[in-house]
Amino acid sequence: MNIGFVGLGIMGSPMAANLLKAGHVVTGYDVSAERVEQLAGLGGKGASSVVEAVGGADVVITMLPDSPQVEEVAPLVIEYGKPNLLYIDMSTIKPETSRRVAEQAAAAGVRALDAPVSGGERGAVDGTLSIMVGGAAEDVEAARPILESLGTTMVHVGPAGAGQTVKAANQLVVGGIYGLVAEAIVLLEASGVDPVAGLDVLAGGLAGSRILELKRHTMVKREFAPGFRIDLHHKDMGIAVAAAREAGVSLPLTGQVAQLVAAARAQGHGSLDHSALLKVIERLNA
């Protein structure tokens, strides 16, 4: 297939590379010319604008930082895309933005899906992302072969915007677990208990989680190279809080976690991994 890809960053770049490996023709655009050159070096085609990346594509994928960038790019995809184009936005953005994009797309005869991902840079490189898809069932089926080149878990979770709502739920759970693991480390250390031994036990019991499995050692060693940056998690907690407001529900723990992530950012840790929530809990106790 001819695939137009807009947003060749930490995630988009390896995803585009996996589409090339799967035998697709990928025409990519990013505001960073360096990113576009990288794609060309892998055998893709470099475009000098969104319009150039979209023209002639059977499928367009966007992997952009946040809602404002999708609001800027999506109208161009919709206007310059072929009739019946399949447009898959894989960025993590507000559910309401995805719903609005889907409505605008439908009015122009473009089939739009929101398909945010979980699994980080590693998952993007290995093609093992978990993909949560919102949109019409027949469009999800049409996208399946492409999404299967990018991930190992792909679930149709509901209509337009539902993928983003599931991603917001994912991010509030991840943030909450990081916060509690950080509190466990602070408690163990303050009580004179070896945190490595303590967390090994937690990881094997009911408190066990992927975060404890993958991150407990680096957290105890205070290694916070990203990974997933605090800045992006701050954006995602904002999306979760806004989604809760829109749904008319109270999520008190989500509110607390959002404030802890905001504190991490305010303390200058925005470019560190989100496990650096530990620094905030430590600071509360120092």
Q: Which residues are tagged catalytic?
A: 167
Residue 228, interface with ligand NAD (CB under 6 A)? yes
| Segment interacting with ligand NAD, rule: CB under 6 A, options 4-12, 17-25, 181-189, 255-263 | 4-12
**Residue 126 CB neighbour total at 10 angstroms:** 14
Q: Choose which of 18, 27, 91, 275 interacts with ligand NAD (CB under 6 A).
A: 91
| Segment interacting with ligand NAD, rule: CB under 6 A, options 18-26, 57-65, 130-138, 261-269 | 57-65
Q: Choose which of 21, 33, 37, 72 interacts with ligand NAD (CB under 6 A).
A: 72
User: Can you point out the beta strands (E) in 110-254?
Assistant: 111-114, 117-118, 129-134, 151-158
Structure-token pair, residue 45: 């085609």
Nearer to ligand NAD, 127 or 195 (CB): 127
Residues 6+ apart with CB under 8 A from 256: 179
Residue 49, interface with ligand NAD (CB under 6 A)? no
Residues 6+ apart with CB under 8 A from 165: 95, 134, 157, 158, 243
Q: Choose which of 3, 4, 5, 7 interacts with ligand NAD (CB under 6 A).
A: 7
CA–CA separation, 44 and 24 (whole Å): 9
3-state SS assignment for residue 48: coil
Residues in contact with ligand NAD by CB under 6 A are: 6-12, 29-32, 35, 63-65, 69, 72-73, 91-92, 117-118, 120-121, 228, 232
